[in-house]
Structures are given as C-alpha cells and as structure tokens.
Structure 1
Amino acid sequence: MIQFDTDRRLFSISTAGSSYVFGLNEKGVLQHLYWGDPVAAADCAPLLGSRLHSSFDAALDRDAEEFAYWGGLSYMEPTLKVRWHDGVRDLRMAYAGHRIERADDGKETLTVVLRDEAYPLEAHLIYGVRPGHDLIERHALIVNTGDRDVVLESAQSAAWSLPELRDYRLTHVTGKWAGEFQLRSASLTEGKKVLESRRGFTDGHANPWFAIDEGTATEESGKVWFGALGWSGNWKIVAEKTAFGRVRVTGGINDFDSEWTLGPGERFETPSFVGGYAAGGFGAMSRGLHRYQYEHVSPGRDLRKVLYNSWEATYFDVNAKDQIALAERAAMVGAELFVIDDGWFGQRSHDRAGLGDWTVNAEKFPNGLDELIGKVRDLGMAFGIWVEPEAVNPDSDLYRSHPDWVYHFPTRARTELRNQLVLDISNPGVKGYIVDFMSKLLGEHDIAFVKWDMNRTITEPGMQDHPLNRQKELWIRHVRSLYEIWAELRRRFPGVAFETCAGGGSRIDLGMLRYADQAWPSDNTDAFDRLSIQEGFSYVYAPKLMTCWVTEAVSGMNKRVTSLKYRFHSAMTGTLGIGANLNEWSEEQLREAAALVAQYKEIRPLVQGGRQYRLRALEHKSVDAVQYVGAGDMGEESVLFAFLHAQKLGDGLPRLRLQGLDPDKRYEIYGMEVDGAKDDGPEVDGVKGDGAEIDGVKGDGPEVERAKDVRSGRALMRIGVELPLRGDFDSLLYRIRELRQP
C-alpha cells in the first residue's frame, strides 16, 4: 500500500479506490502531486518540480507543500510555526529520511523525517493506511533534539492539497444549541474559509470535518475529498484558495491563544487527521467513515442498548420512589438500560448548587443508591448514571474547599455559566479527585453506563501553580487530561459503557469517540428537528454512535405535535432511547411503545451495523428517507424509514428508489405497523399488497409480518416503492429481506 520510488523520489500511498502521491522536488520541498482515482506513481513524476510566477510569487510549489512549515517564502497557512530560544521565528526543514513499517494487523505506516537546517528540531510526518479502507490517517510528531526550549506557536496535524478542479465546493456543518449539525455548502473563492472552535471543546457551532467536491457531487455519484479531525478541544480547519487556483486544507489544534513549550528531548504529538477520497458521492464518503469508526475507532463492539433516561420526567426532583416507578414502566416498554440523570448527589435540587459533591443524597435515597439499582436489575435492565465531573458550582463543598481548582485570572471576576465554573483537570489534585470519585462510584455500585456531561465553555483561561510563560498550554492540557481520565476509567472498568455529552451536540469528534461508546447529538429531541440534526451527524459519524430519544407528543422545543409512531421512527434511525415521563403515558401508549421497541430490537443489527443510505431523491417533496443494508441470518436485509413533513395541494408522492441492493436478487417487502394499525403497504411496480397488521398488546416479541410483495433488487432501485404517506408528520418503516429459494 505504501511505496517509495528511489529514482524518482516519489512516495505513493495506494488503497483499493485511491492513490495519494507526493515527492521531493529539486529544491528539497516535499511537494504534493496527486490525490484521487488509482494511478501509477511514476505517471505523477512530470508534476514534480518548482514553479515561479514572479518575484512576488517565487515559490508556487510551496502552495502544494506536504508539510507547510513557516519560513522563507511560505505565506500560506502553516502546519508548523516555532519560536527559538534566541528569538528567531523561522523554519528551514530538510528531508532527513523515512521508514515504512507494517503491523501484524496489516496496517502500514510511513514516517517521513524532516530536520531543521540549523536548529535541533525534527518533524516526523506519519501516514497510516489500513487494509480495506480508502482512508489515510495523518499526524505529526515534533521532536526537540537539543538542550534548549522550543516554543510551538502552531503545530497542525496535516495539510491536504486538493487536485485542480473546475470549482471547489466546501461542505460542512454549523449549528447552535438545539440546532446542531446543520449542513452548509459554498464555493471557495480566493482567500480562507476558517472552521473552528475556541470554546474549550469540539463545539456545536461547527464540527471538525470538511468535504470538497467540484460542485456536482450528489449522494450517489461524484468525486469527494474529505477529512475529519480527532481532537476534542479548540480546533481549526482552514480551506485556503490561492490566486493560482490551488486549494489546501490545513487542520489541527487551534493556534489561537495557544502555545506549547517543548523542552529538551521532549516530543509533541498532534491529533489524528483522517482524510479520504470517495468516487461515489457523499453517501460513499459517509459509509467509508462509518465502517472505519466501527472497526478502528469506537471502543464498544456490542450493539447499543435501548435506554430510558429519567431527566425529562423528573428533572432535579429525583428520589428513590419515583425513580423505581419510572423503572417499572421503562421495563414494561422493553428498555434494557435505565439511566438516572442529574439531581442524585450532594445538595443538587437545582442547577445552582451541589455540582462537584459526588456523594449520594441521603434524603433522596435513604437506603442508598443500591436500592434503586437492585430494583432496576430485578426488572431485567442495566443501570446507568449521569455525571459532570469537569465543572463545579460555587455553592458546593468542593469549591469551598478548593476555590483555586477552577480556571480563573486573579484580577478578574469568575464568569458563571449555568451557575458553574470549570475545573482545571490538568491539575494533579483535580485529576486525582475525579478518578478517585468515579472509581469509587463505579467500584461500589453495579453501574453499566455513564453519561458524562459538560455544560460549560471555558472562560478566564488561567491555571494556578503553572508557569506564567506556559499559561497558553491550558487548551491542550485540558483535553489531554480528559483523555487520560477516560482511558484510566475504561482500563479499570472495561464493562462500563460511556456516553459523551456536552452542551447538546458539542464534543463529538474522532478523538472523543475513541473513548466514548456513543454520543448525544443535541438537547433538541423534537422528532422532526432531529431529522436534520441526525442527517448532518451521519455525514461523518456512524448511526450506532448517535443516541436518539423519544419524548413527549407535544415537543418542549417547538410545541409541535407528532404521533408516537413518528417519534419512535425518528429515534430508531440511531441508538434508541426514551426520555419521556412514562408515568403520564396511557396503557395504550405503553403497549404501542413496547411493540415499537420490539421492532427496533429486531432491526437493530441493521441500523447499528449496516450500510446507511440517505435517500435524497424526494428532497423537494418534503420527504426524508434513510435506508440501512446489511447481512442477516436470512441473507441480505434492508430497513427503510421514510418521513413526510407536510402534504400540500393533494399532491401524491413519486416512488422512492432504494439503494445498496443486489440487482439480481429477489426481495420480500414487509410493512411494519403496531397495535392493530393497518396500512395498504408499499406498491412496487404497480402491484399492491394487502397490508400488515401487528399485534402490539404485550410488546414482548417481534411484530407479526406479512410479505407485501416480491421484487428484484433492480426493480426496487430503478422503479422504487410507493410511499403511502399522508397529512402532516407521517412516517413508515419497511423491512426488505432477500428471498431465498428452498
């Protein structure tokens, strides 16, 4: 997969569907040459060489530099910028060698070593390729080989040079609290487009990934170049287009208010920046990233449990009696995991006090937490718990004992957001406190799941007992300490699953997902709003990693009214959760919910492990549709969800063409309804079925199904299925199975 042509001085990285080529030109510049469909590396040799336009544009080859160090005639966004002990702020890096290694699992790694011409500093550029993936994992290792400090003013993970295209369309996401992961696209003109976070975590206002195409790519076709950064703190991705039409995307740790002092013999490792090329449009991009996460990023390989969370039912009014009543109803509907949220500890009866005091509130739980845990376990569910270890209320025993444990400047007021401050978790005392109380909590109680929240951006970024000239290291130290804490807890408690949650959909990235089993994409649980949030999430992140709740019929966010079926269908496209007050649900609603949960458990392997297809052909008709394809005991299987926003002017809907099926196989199509509800079923190629009726009285097993029709994969993908959706906020669920001859 990785080769070096000694004669031509070319490095080539080959995957099944792509080639990535760079080389050393006559000036010794590590110059990017090609990235796209597979080619022979030797064919790229004529592209290698320096270019000159004028004395003001004297080093155009550096516009496509593989490692863009700041110095000399380089004026684009740098990958590395340093300050030497003598005040010099210039780098002159020269090639010093390379090595290619192969691991037992088949992963190949290329390390290219660059060395400054005058100062003792090395940059190790590291490229990793895994078998079966059209992705390249990149990061850099900066090594101080001397005996004096070196200040890193910017140390980015990678620079991705794009090929010459007719146009450059950037796709990314933006958002806000309750409106995360909203897709945006725009043509890149000369200058810089900067995506970033300066808030201390990944942030819901943007997310650290990019996709670039020529302006014509769709879900199903077109060439797409993309990258996703694995860093859970301040980050920056810069897409820069020059006056000569070259585009380079540089990304890594945000250099705003950030420096790192590299002592003698020390090393600084940048986070991973994964890049890839997909010839099959945005859908192929997403499926490649999803499979990579399932196989090489996510720590949990098991299917995610159906969870119930008590937050919206009780808020801070938590007590053993009410939680047990909720647990009984959660078990009735088929939940496998019961999670108690905020309010179980300290003097936590509201958000103004108690945060940081991680002891069970004796008034709320007079018999301790184990009374509730035991009841949950007796009901056949695992038990989970909410924590927010990085923050503290000023009204808490912890803060009164350790007021200097929070980030602050001595001469400034300590800004409170949500009545809380942020702990300096890089402080050994703070870090030890968190590891100790979490270890005690998990060690003394039968807890299988932790929802780790973080509802506070970082302000007044000052660290006590830390050198004044190294205060700007705070942003990096916080994230590294967070990773170390999670790694230690996962080592001590390998059977516990963790969910990352931060102010809604913040802190979701390929760095955090190496430790978290799943992620909370938004505090907005409105079933219709969630469709766009979950779609934007899915562009990079896998459905299995996305927690989705079913809440009340009247949305607390928008006062929108939707049916229970619609709310479940929306939440069933990821990892299913329930967050409603089940004590207020009728027996009929509980039975319907139980049947829907049973449906989800039947299709869960497909949703959480299959290939996802976002079906966009009906975008103009107010329909969202998503399909999952995988292999089951009965051969190839698929599940289709479709959602109608609103029907207008009596218009019908055209057929929906499926994807990902074998054109030569024949498939049975099943309607999936609950509680005696009946629909006419899909119409395929003019043939209509009788409809399916499912008994949902007990909800203790899978639905009753009746095949609606049998058609070839070719017909389903080219002719499609009818969508009998009507009115406002209607939805359906179809199951498609390969028909095997006896």
Structure 2
Amino acid sequence: MTSTEPQHRDREPAIEWAQPGLHLRFDHGDDHPVRLVHWATGPDSASVAAPSAIVDVSTAGEHRARHNQSLLLWGAGLRLRYTGHEALGDELRIRQHDPASGLEVTSVFRAAGPGVQIRHTVRNGTPSDLMLLSVSSGLVSVPEGAHDLLWGESEWLAEGRWQQRPVAELLPNVNPEFHGRRNRGNFAVTSHGSFSSGEFLPTGVLAIDDGPSIAWQVETSAGWHWEATQNEGAVTVGVYGPTDLYHQFAERLAPGDEFTTVPAGFCVADGGRDAAFAALTDYRRAIRQLRPVDAGLPVVYNDFMNTLMAGPSTEKELPLIEGAAEAGAEYFCIDAGWFGSGNWWTDAGDWHEAPGQFDGGLISVIDAIRAKGMRPGIWLEPEAVGANAALGQQLPEEAFFRRLGRRVSETGHFQLDFRHPAARAHLDEAVDRLVAEFGIEFFKLDYNVNSGVGTDVDAVGPGAGLLGHTRAFRDWLSDAQVRHPEVLFESCSSGGMRMDYNLLSVAHLQSTSDQQDFRRYAPIAAAAPASVLPEQAGNWAYPAESMSIDETAFAMTAGVMGRLYLSGFLGGLSEERFALVREAVALHKDWRHRIAEAHPVWPLGLPGWDDDVIALQLDAGSESLLALWSRGAAAEITLPGLRGRTVKQVYPVALPEWPVRTAGGVPVVEVPAGPAARIFEIE
C-alpha cells in the first residue's frame, strides 16, 4: 500500500505492507482488533506470525480478560476496532478506536533495514481524564514449535551472559484444554531502576533452525519488560516500556492528550540464532543517527582502566600520552578526577578543572595530546551531582529526582532531571565551554548509580518521570551533537549498565564493561555484539608489564574484535609486549571499516561465563575475523560452520601459530592451555 487515503473495512478487510526484505499482512473486522497475521522476509518466504493483536492497552479501572502474570488481554485493548490506515514511504500507520471509552490508538510500523521499529500513540478521545497503566510497544505471536528462547543476563563486571533454553521447558504444556481454561504460561524479563541493562538485557530471540526466527529489542533507558506467553497454540512475545505492574508507571491523559510508547525493534530472519542476531545487527545500523565524524571509527586511549583509575595529573599523563601515540591511538581521553577538588565522586557536577592538579593547567595536558597528533577527550557524568558540589545548592529542587517529597540520593550522588531547563542549561554550558576553552573532541559520558524507579516530580508515577527524563536526556545528547558536529560522544554506565538503543542510536561508542580482569573480559567482549553493534562495542584492551607474552595477546584480542578501547601503562611495557600492542592496533585499523559491516557469529555458541574456549567470528561476507580465547586445558576445536574455508592466523604474527587441520573439509584448531588467544582471517 502506498495510498495516504483511509482504507475502509468494506473495501479492504486486509492490509498488505511490503518493503525490501519485509512482507507483513494484517486483518481487521467488527469483532476483533487489528491483528498481525503474516510476517515474512519476502512474498514467497515462510511466515513467522500467528494471528495476534498489534497493541494492548491497560487503563485504570479495567479488568483483565485472563488470569495471568502476563500484561496481555486488557479491556481497552480488546475493544479496539479498525478506523483506517495509510502507508507512506517507509512507514505504515494503522488507526483504531475503542467505541466504549473513546480511546484512540495510532500504530506506526517503520521499516529499518531488515526489521521494523514499532511504536503506538494513545490519544484520549473521551471528555474525562484517562489513566494509562501500560501500553505494549510490540506484540508478535509465533505458532508453537521447537523454538529456543534466548535472553541475556547482566551485572556490573559480568555483562552479557546469554541463556538459551527450549520454549517447551520454560513454558510447559499443562494441558489447558483438559481444565477448560486458557494457559497461563509466562516467561518474563524485566528491568529494575535506571540501569536499563543492569540485570537483564533489553533484547531477546526466538530461534528455530529449520524456519524463521525473530529477534527484538526494547529501545529505552527507562523501565522495560518483555515476556513470552502461551496463548491458544501460539507463543506471543510482548515488548513493553515502563508499566504500572513492574515500574510504578502511570500516565494521566487529559481529554485530547497523547502518549507515545517507547520503540520496539523486531526482526525476522530465515535461519536460527546467528541469522536472527545478524538481522538485528543490520536493524541497529539502520536506526542509528550517523554523522560524518562517526565514519572515522578512531582508536581511543583512555587513562582509566587499570591505569590512573580517576587520579590524573600532568606528571602521570605525559608518559601515557607518549605511549598511546606510539601505539597508534588517535584520541586520548582524560577520565574522571580532573575537576572540582579532585574527588571525582563527590565533586561530580563541578565541571571546572581542579585547582593546582595539573602543572601548567589542564590546557598543558591537552596541548601535549595534540602535539602527539591525537585529539583530546574528557570524562563527564552529565546526570550526576556529587554531594559536595556547589551545584547541589544552586539548582532548584525540581531539577533533581525526588521521591515522596525528598531528593533522591544514591551513595553521595544526586540525579539531575533533564526535563527541567536548569539541568539542561547546566550541561550545555559545561560542554560548550570545554569545547571552546580546551578544544575537546571526545566526551566519555558516564552514569554510575541506579537511581531507582524514577521521580514523582510532575509525574503520576515515578516510572513515568524516569521515562520523561531519559527521553529528555537523549534529546539533549542529540542537540549537543548538532551544536558540535565534530565531537564524538561515548555512552558509558559503569561499563555496560545502560546499554540500550535509546542512547546507542545517537552515541558513537559504548563501553562494554568495567571488568579489570583480562581473563574475565573475554566472554564479555565475545557476547557484546549480541547487544551492541561491533563498531560501537568499546572493548577495553589494557596490557600490563606483569602479563606474560601470551597474556598480552589475550588482553589485546578483545579490543580488536569490536572497537579497540586502549588503556594501560604502555610506556612501561617491554619491547616485545609493546610490539604486540602496536600490531593489534594496526590489525584493528585495517579491519575496522569491515567490522562496521560485519555480522557476529558464535561458532561455539554464545559464550558461557566459565567456558574454557570462547569464539567470536565477525563475518564480513567473503572474509571474516575469528577470535579464539583459551582459558583452560588444551583442546581441539571443530568449526563446522567454516567448512571449505581457509583459516589463517593473523595475530600475533610473532608468536607460535596454533595448528589448523581439516577433517572432512571442516577446520579443526588445536588450542593450547590458556590463557592464550589468537585471531584468524577466514577466506
């Protein structure tokens, strides 16, 4: 459909919508809401979809239509009826109306790469206030089959621990027909507080090897929830932003007011797990707001990890600058501790250099960075105000998160609310001044506390306050890039505690962890492309003189297989160790633009936290990079997915090659005892 005129039930009972790689069909009638009945990668491909409503709405005072933990099947959503649709460009808009209450919903499906970004706008068409408690962002049903469900668990220093189980084990068959009831089966994953990926990742996959699989993500830095629910021979995936049940969310709509859900991204792929993640990778690339400066994909050195740890000074920085430049870094970021009185935690928000901390002032360090051919960067925690910062007394109370009449305080930090103009103005002034005064070209934006469910300032429920803040913060970040188009911005949250595409669609880089043990970083780096684009996955590489030669290569491998985020006392390394660093940086630079087009593949499965051997392949079509990390005993690793292809070691060239033979055309790699790692090119 390309018409912008409303289509009516008597002329067209079904809606067909096709885009490259997408074919969707919806039906509608007088006795049911609009339903998605077909979703395939093309007109001749198998459909992944079973009939399901496209949106569900919960309002105060409504009754559930089903006893369940699920958020599905509420009165207002069930009463919605089709009123029209239009397709224009890459968007399909479907309008529905609840004749009993007057509530109106416009559902928007936007094609993005091989996927669809879905959002819904609820309008109060009644003469009275209406209280929303939850609105689904996306609903897709799949006929029951031999699917596996994948979900990601996360934790500070242990990000991206993926789990994979058969749906039949998670949602057992309880024979609902025998009982004359609906099945209540429900498997749910929910965020808690303001760390959107602090406990679970806002991403999931329903995978099946011999049919179409689906992948999804929730695009918000506020509360979110997704669930898989059994319902009449199908498994329904429901994706939600904040809800009353899980996040203390409520939104009051006066007559004529509107509320728009957080976006949900869905992809269908003809194949299993890796095909689904490949489609999700291309979808993420399609929704990013790229600028010309993003195209360089520079190597960044940051002085924090296992190095200065928030204690910078001129004396400490100068040798680091020397070593970073010699290693091949293109940007040098001064991390926390450069401001206030030098206490980076309690002085957060006082974004002026600490008096007397730098001989010759901070500008002398910036000048040294530029003299070595690198571009300067600096650390900020824009949403934080430390307990000792003067700003805490200068800004109005409404500019901070508040709960039940008191300012939210988390271990010496207050949380700014970017819905308030004073909070935004404070950061605008800081960023603009640092760019003008020091020529800053890279900001590491950190976020180190979970401030809880949100704020009840100008919000019925704190979950709505948190959502409003995170949307305003994203707008602030976008506006800062408009004012400073040549400046790069990293999203960091104690590592990967806020790893979502509300922020990553407008950020250049994402720190994947704060993990300081190089042995533990391997599974984090290998799993990162399931959550974040490889070209955005800032994997730390922090070699140390205390490491053996093989351990140095092990530590550098994580950086090569994403966005190399360099740290460590490089000037103190032996010549042999430093050569491994330079070689890794050079290999990454050679591959970085191919990595930015590659898809992740896990030849040994998504890594387990304690796996002895971990593998990640970045598949760029006719060629790939393959990393193997060994953390246990010697083993032989068979790679059936690489049948008929050539496996050649390319890093490190100075260390012994790991033997590769073929068995029936399948490569077999002899992996020695670890810790040790190698990178191979696949042709």
Change (3 A) 1:654 1:2: farther
Q: Secondary structure at the match of 1:231?
A: coil
Is 1:656 the counterpart of 2:643 in the alignment?
Answer: no
Deviation at 1:671, TM superposition (A): 3.1
Deviation at 1:538, TM superposition (A): 1.8
The answer on whether the counterparts of 2:418 and 2:473 sit within 8 Å (CA) in structure 1 is yes
2 CA distance for matches of 1:201 and 1:618? 23
Is 1:441 the counterpart of 2:434 in the alignment?
Answer: yes
Alignment equivalent of 2:164, drawn from 185, 194, 210: 185
Map of 1:121 onto structure 2: 103
1 CA distance for matches of 2:47 and 2:274? 30
AA matched with 1:249: V
Deviation at 1:138, TM superposition (A): 1.0
Range moving further from structure 2, 530-539 or 6-15:
6-15
Structure 1 residues 143-154: aligned runs within 5 Å: 143-145=123-125, 148-154=128-134
2 CA distance for matches of 1:266 and 1:182? 41
Deviation at 1:183, TM superposition (A): 0.6
Range moving further from structure 2, 93-102 or 150-159:
150-159
Deviation at 1:237, TM superposition (A): 1.0
Deviation at 1:167, TM superposition (A): 4.2
AA matched with 2:324: A
TM-score normalised per structure 1: 0.80
Change (3 A) 1:619 1:72: closer
Map of 2:325 onto structure 1: 331
2 CA distance for matches of 1:29 and 1:325? 66
Is 1:524 the counterpart of 2:515 in the alignment?
Answer: yes
Is 1:251 the counterpart of 2:239 in the alignment?
Answer: yes
Map of 1:697 onto structure 2: none
Change (3 A) 1:682 1:100: same
AA matched with 1:626: L
Q: 1:19-70 deviations in whole A, cap 9, x for unaligned?
A: 433211351432332344655799999x98xxxxxxxxxxxxxxx3222234
Deviation at 1:640, TM superposition (A): 2.3
Change (3 A) 1:483 1:12: same
Alignment equivalent of 1:671, drawn from 636, 649, 671: 649
Q: Secondary structure at the match of 2:620?
A: strand
Is 1:610 the counterpart of 2:589 in the alignment?
Answer: no
Change (3 A) 1:413 1:96: closer
Alignment equivalent of 1:345, drawn from 339, 349, 369: 339
Change (3 A) 1:516 1:9: same
Change (3 A) 1:117 1:669: closer
Deviation at 1:523, TM superposition (A): 0.9
Structure 1 residues 625-636: aligned runs within 5 Å: 625-630=615-620, 636=622
2 CA distance for matches of 1:44 and 1:577? 39
2 CA distance for matches of 1:200 and 1:528? 29
* Count of matched residue positions in the alignment of Structure 1 and Structure 2: 650
Q: Secondary structure at the match of 1:479?
A: helix
Q: 1:92-115 deviations in whole A, cap 9, x for unaligned?
A: 32211111112xxxx2x2111112
AA matched with 2:466: W
Is 1:233 the counterpart of 2:212 in the alignment?
Answer: no
The answer on whether the counterparts of 2:155 and 2:497 sit within 8 Å (CA) in structure 1 is no
Is 1:733 the counterpart of 2:679 in the alignment?
Answer: yes
Map of 1:690 onto structure 2: none
Structure 1 residues 362-441: aligned runs within 5 Å: 362-402=355-395, 404=397, 405-409=399-403, 415-417=409-411, 419-441=412-434
Is 1:176 the counterpart of 2:162 in the alignment?
Answer: no
The answer on whether the counterparts of 1:408 and 1:460 sit within 8 Å (CA) in structure 2 is no
Q: Secondary structure at the match of 1:514?
A: coil
1 CA distance for matches of 2:632 and 2:141? 43
AA matched with 1:69: V
Gaps of 5+ in 2: 172-183
AA matched with 2:522: L
1 CA distance for matches of 2:206 and 2:141? 11
Structure 1 residues 42-53: aligned runs within 5 Å: none
Is 1:501 the counterpart of 2:489 in the alignment?
Answer: no
AA matched with 2:154: G
Is 1:355 the counterpart of 2:355 in the alignment?
Answer: no
Deviation at 1:302, TM superposition (A): 1.1
1 CA distance for matches of 2:344 and 2:53? 54
Structure 1 residues 266-277: aligned runs within 5 Å: 266-277=257-268
The answer on whether the counterparts of 2:107 and 2:119 sit within 8 Å (CA) in structure 1 is yes
2 CA distance for matches of 1:346 and 1:387? 12
The answer on whether the counterparts of 1:79 and 1:159 sit within 8 Å (CA) in structure 2 is no
Deviation at 1:357, TM superposition (A): 0.5
Structure with higher Rg: it is: 1
Q: Secondary structure at the match of 1:458?
A: coil
2 CA distance for matches of 1:319 and 1:542? 34
The answer on whether the counterparts of 1:173 and 1:206 sit within 8 Å (CA) in structure 2 is yes
Structure 1 residues 131-210: aligned runs within 5 Å: 133-145=113-125, 148-162=128-142, 164-186=143-165, 187=167, 188-189=170-171, 190-210=184-204
Range moving further from structure 2, 586-595 or 445-454:
586-595
1 CA distance for matches of 2:35 and 2:327? 59
Gaps of 5+ in 1: 49-63, 83-88, 686-717, 738-742
Map of 2:54 onto structure 1: 66
Deviation at 1:456, TM superposition (A): 1.0
1 CA distance for matches of 2:584 and 2:462? 53
The answer on whether the counterparts of 2:38 and 2:47 sit within 8 Å (CA) in structure 1 is no
What's the RMSD between the two structures over aligned residues?
Answer: 3.4
Change (3 A) 1:610 1:432: same
Deviation at 1:379, TM superposition (A): 0.6
Alignment equivalent of 2:478, drawn from 463, 480, 487: 487
1 CA distance for matches of 2:658 and 2:452? 57
TM-score normalised per structure 2: 0.86
Change (3 A) 1:115 1:554: farther
Change (3 A) 1:577 1:726: same
2 CA distance for matches of 1:450 and 1:510? 18
Q: 1:141-186 deviations in whole A, cap 9, x for unaligned?
A: 1223456433222122121222x22345321001211111101133
Map of 2:176 onto structure 1: none
The answer on whether the counterparts of 2:539 and 2:563 sit within 8 Å (CA) in structure 1 is yes
1 CA distance for matches of 2:119 and 2:592? 35
The answer on whether the counterparts of 1:79 and 1:158 sit within 8 Å (CA) in structure 2 is no
Q: Secondary structure at the match of 1:734?
A: strand
Map of 1:699 onto structure 2: none
